[in-house]
């Protein structure tokens, strides 16, 4: 399971268009098996969390697996760009996992 943590703020112009898009893409049927999505308003979240994730710009998405960062990106992405990122993560997960 991948933890997708999204940092945004209401005053952030790119966040206003990117937030609904990210929510839509992470809700795609099938992704729920692999992706857990969390959204944090950078103005309201504990500053310790911002420091822990080293958030320097908004919007920022941090993707972790088993508590370790796999990838991150800052700035808005297109719908197709997000799908490409998530599909690549899921495909790599399936290639690297061995059946029990």
CA distance 37 to 6: 8
Given the residues 12, 25, 58, 89, select the one marked as catalytic. 12
- 15 classed as catalytic: yes
Q: How many Cβ atoms are within 10 Å of 89's Cβ, its own excluded?
A: 19
Given the residues 15, 61, 82, 89, select the one marked as catalytic. 15
- 100 classed as catalytic: no
60-65 and 68-74 as β-strands: parallel, antiparallel, unpaired? Answer: antiparallel
Catalytic positions are 12, 15
């Amino acid at each position: 399971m991948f933890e997708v943590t999204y940092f945004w703020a209401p005053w952030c112009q790119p966040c206003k268009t990117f937030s609904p898009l990210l929510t839509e893409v992470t809700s795609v049927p099938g992704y729920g098996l692999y992706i857990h999505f969390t959204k944090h308003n950078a103005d309201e979240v504990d500053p310790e969390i911002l420091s822990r994730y080293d958030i320097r710009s908004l919007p920022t998405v941090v993707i972790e697996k088993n508590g370790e960062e796999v990838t991150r990106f800052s700035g808005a992405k297109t719908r197709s760009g997000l799908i490409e990122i998530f599909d690549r993560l899921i495909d790599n997960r399936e290639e690297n996992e061995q059946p029990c």
